[in-house]
Chains A and B, each alone.
Chain A
Amino acid sequence: MMQLISLLMENKPGALMRVTGLLTARGYNIESLTVARTTDPALSRMSILVDVEPHQKALVIKQMSRLVNVLQAADLSEAPAARRELLLARIKAPLPNRAAILKEAEIFGARAIDSSPEGFVLEVTSEGEKLDEFIEILGHYGELEVTRSGMVAVPLEPKKLKLSRPREVGPALETEPAGANR
């Protein structure tokens, strides 16, 4: 069952590995994953699309929230959210086909960002399924090479972010640590 997960995390080495490790340890295949920094360069936003067994969905989110580097983990599979994916396609376009290809592109809201005698590079942004159709159609016109960004998503309603406050490091611990028995 496809699960779309949105994470806000610290932009630190190894943070990505901790998140993906929770999925790969279960033998899950990640369908797509995107990560980039936010307006605060210390933080990254990650979107993951992954095939998860239904009974594991809630646990995966909880275990991600538990990671020290993760500030917030949300399941956007059902939640109201804007979802988009970018596709870049290089298509061989011999002269007789060129106009038809550009017409198809227009129908899908794609635009050409590079043109050469051999063909075009097209760019389109949409929800995932629309892109599949676009690839299908373009395939009829000639040789196609496709790069997809993977799904990125943002929830339509903001979720309150709960963060921990800084904690003092004492010169020497005054109180016994939890569970101490000396």
Chain B
Amino acid sequence: MNDKTGHFRGEVMNGARMLLECLAREQVDCIFGYPGGVTLPFYDAMYDHPIRHVLVRHEQNAAFAASGYARATGRVGVCCATSGPGATNLVTGLVDSLMDSIPVVAITGQVATRLIGSDAFQEADTFGITRSCTKHNYLVKNLADLPQIVHEAFHIASSGRPGPVLVDIAKDVFQGQGRYEPVSAIHLPGYKVVVDGHAGQVRRAAQMMWEAERPLVYAGGGIIAAAAHEELRELVEALDAPAVCTLMGLGGLSSGHPNFISMPGMHGSYAANMAMTETDLLIALGVRFDDRVTGRLSAFAPKARVIHVDIDPAEIGKNRAADIPIVGDVKRVLKRLTQSLAETKDEMRAAGGAARKAWKRQVRGWMEEHPLTPEVSADEIKPQHLMAEIDRLSGGEAIVTVDVGQHQMWAAQFIRFHHPRLWINSGGLGAMGFGLPSAMGAQFAHPDRLVFSIVGDGGFQMSVPELATIVNHGLPLKIIIMNNGYLGMVRQWQELFYNNRLSSVQLDNFPDAALLAAAYGFRGRTIEHPRELAPALEECIQEPGPYLLNVRVTPFENVYPMVPAGAAIHEMVLRPPQPVEA
């Protein structure tokens, strides 16, 4: 019987159908997947079900697309693969979501329960393999457990510190018949999520902020995950403190905000890294003191006391001890912090007031001393120039997904994001091949938004097969290849640290982009002259459908500033070594 909610109660159905009922209840509208032997019953059930299935061309891209969908919306992304090779192909995408705390539920088929452990065709120990690739995982051997487990999976994926959850379902569970009774409650006694920060700690933190002379807000992916961008802006303004956003936190505070410096870290700006080094109070919000941010840990923020807010207690004190640790949902904690700042404003504001003004001037001075300025040349397209042009067209409003490498860093440096969930990249895992499929996920979530997928020529070639999916669904993606003919970031390190011995980094035989796009039935073009850049990008975004723009850029450009491995972040190299005149 179909009740008011549109769900079927008490009806006899098979496990596959029951799974769809549970997914519908979790408001899943789209699944990225690839069918196979043991998921046949599930695909049969999907045949006439309103949930949309997107057939990708490789399971890894299903996981990346689900991640892109989740990153663009904050909702759980769902992917699906068959047993054995299907499941093993998901692994990279799952680890990517784990590292970046992205809510994803992966459904995999498993061989029938009586065959598990018999080396059956397309059998793999998915439960064992994905244990360390997920926040949590399940093996379902009884139909009666299925609805409960599916709802648990969505709850775990989307609550607390989000992450991927895999549900491995034996074929006979899909096929088995049972009466569907919607689950009313789930109970995970050991799954503890602390959302409200300790009130006393919050008060102490507010006091420490007023006392600080050189406070700095260090905001990360947790701000995006918790939708705490408004609260972040309010705190930054209440204290009038300068702020940096990490690679995962870009858009958490608008790039156009007067207090925003830029990204810190290995390829962060001079001002951001100097501010990190000189601050006397680091206000760390939803960050994990990643090695790409801190550089040599012992020399990181050496003068600072630390307030660290995170929903995951295991992150606090992991890399840097916190003077004031606050475990909680950063959105709620920030609300209280700002409130507490306001309450104590009159008595406390004077404490570090004059010094804080001087500090802001100093930060401004660093920004002017070494600004991030795009290189422009009259004869070659500089990669930074390309990013600046994309930024001009985006105006801080477009969704931009990137792959991994030099182009990712230039995009992070030069493209502004006025809102959260516009900047989509594989930050923690650094998984090449992420850029294109994650853009598919983002575009499915936001069919009417302008989505740029900026990829290197390396990462693009890892995901070429998805061009078929993109055309298939008429996704109007703007695929921009920053093509330098090299695995540029690896080459940069070989140049700088391996005596310029360029080993296996040259990518020859890149296909003709116009022909490649044409072969898939859409438009593409290659450009190599700076005067072509602006018109070609205009043409690209005018195109109603997908567009492949292959941009030949200066092959030997390297990303600066750069903090060499093992150095402190203020020891950054600002520009390439200059030739010495004889």
Cβ contact of B189, chosen from A18, A164, A169, cutoff 8 A: A164
A182 at the interface (CB under 8 A from B): yes
Query: Residues of A contacting B362 with CB < 8 Å?
Result: none
- Of all chain B residues, the one with the shortest Cβ separation from A70 is B190
A163 at the interface (CB under 8 A from B): yes
- Which residues of chain A from 149 to 182 have a CB within 8 Å of any chain B CB? 162-169, 171-173, 177-182
Produce 1/0 per residue, B402-428, CB < 8 A to A.
000000000000000001110000000
Q: Complex Cα distance A29/B569, Å?
A: 35
Query: Residues of B contacting A67 with CB < 8 Å?
Result: 136, 190
Interface secondary structure of B, over-half rule = loop
Query: Residues of B contacting A21 with CB < 8 Å?
Result: 131-132
Of B156, B158, B224, chain A has the most CB atoms within 10 Å of the CB of B158
How near does chain A come to B151, taking the closest CB pair, in angstroms?
A: 5
B128 at the interface (CB under 8 A from A): yes
Task: Determine if A71 and B189 form an interchain contact, defined as CB atoms under 8 angstroms apart.
Answer: yes
Query: Residues of A contacting B127 with CB < 8 Å?
Result: 14
Q: Complex Cα distance A103/B156, Å?
A: 58
- Given A168-B184, A169-B183, A181-B420, also A17-B128 (CB < 8 A): yes
Task: Determine if A14 and B191 form an interchain contact, defined as CB atoms under 8 angstroms apart.
Answer: no
Query: Residues of B contacting A169 with CB < 8 Å?
Result: 25, 151, 182-186
Task: Determine if A68 and B191 form an interchain contact, defined as CB atoms under 8 angstroms apart.
Answer: yes
| Interface range, A side | 35 or more
Interface size on B, residues (CB 8 A): 49
- Of all chain B residues, the one with the shortest Cβ separation from A172 is B5
A9 at the interface (CB under 8 A from B): yes
Task: Determine if B227 and A171 form an interchain contact, defined as CB atoms under 8 angstroms apart.
Answer: no
Q: Complex Cα distance A68/B136, Å?
A: 7
- Interface stretch among A31-39, A57-65, A106-114? A57-65
B187 at the interface (CB under 8 A from A): yes
- Interface stretch among B310-318, B334-342, B527-535? B310-318
A41 at the interface (CB under 8 A from B): no
Task: Determine if B5 and A167 form an interchain contact, defined as CB atoms under 8 angstroms apart.
Answer: no
Q: Complex Cα distance A42/B284, Å?
A: 39
Task: Determine if A10 and B190 form an interchain contact, defined as CB atoms under 8 angstroms apart.
Answer: yes
Query: Residues of A contacting B191 with CB < 8 Å?
Result: 68, 164
B398 at the interface (CB under 8 A from A): no
How near does chain B come to A126, taking the closest CB pair, in angstroms?
A: 32
B155 at the interface (CB under 8 A from A): yes
Query: Residues of A contacting B185 with CB < 8 Å?
Result: 166-169
A6 at the interface (CB under 8 A from B): no
How near does chain A come to B194, taking the closest CB pair, in angstroms?
A: 10
Task: Determine if B313 and A177 form an interchain contact, defined as CB atoms under 8 angstroms apart.
Answer: no
How near does chain A come to B156, taking the closest CB pair, in angstroms?
A: 6
Cβ contact of B74, chosen from A69, A165, A167, A181, cutoff 8 A: A181
- Of all chain A residues, the one with the shortest Cβ separation from B421 is A181
Q: Complex Cα distance A101/B137, Å?
A: 52
Task: Determine if A171 and B25 form an interchain contact, defined as CB atoms under 8 angstroms apart.
Answer: yes
How near does chain B come to A58, taking the closest CB pair, in angstroms?
A: 7
- Of all chain A residues, the one with the shortest Cβ separation from B135 is A68
How near does chain B come to A177, taking the closest CB pair, in angstroms?
A: 6
A25 at the interface (CB under 8 A from B): yes
Task: Determine if B192 and A162 form an interchain contact, defined as CB atoms under 8 angstroms apart.
Answer: yes
B188 at the interface (CB under 8 A from A): yes
Task: Determine if A71 and B190 form an interchain contact, defined as CB atoms under 8 angstroms apart.
Answer: yes
A13 at the interface (CB under 8 A from B): yes
**B residues bordering A, Cβ < 8 Å?**
5, 7, 25-27, 72-76, 127-128, 131-132, 135-137, 139, 151, 155-156, 158-159, 182-193, 224-227, 312-314, 317-318, 329, 331, 419-421
Q: List 13 A-B contacts (CB under 8 A).
A: A10-B190, A13-B139, A14-B127, A17-B131, A21-B132, A65-B192, A66-B313, A169-B151, A169-B182, A173-B26, A178-B158, A180-B227, A181-B72
- A sample of 16 more A-B contacts (CB under 8 A), given A169-B184, A181-B420, A182-B73, is A14-B127, A59-B314, A62-B313, A67-B190, A69-B190, A166-B187, A167-B155, A169-B25, A171-B182, A178-B329, A179-B225, A180-B73, A180-B74, A180-B227, A181-B73, A181-B227
**A residues bordering B, Cβ < 8 Å?**
9-10, 13-14, 17-18, 21, 25, 58-59, 62-63, 65-72, 162-169, 171-173, 177-182
A-B pairs, 6 with minimum CB distance:
A179-B74, A62-B314, A166-B187, A179-B227, A171-B5, A71-B190
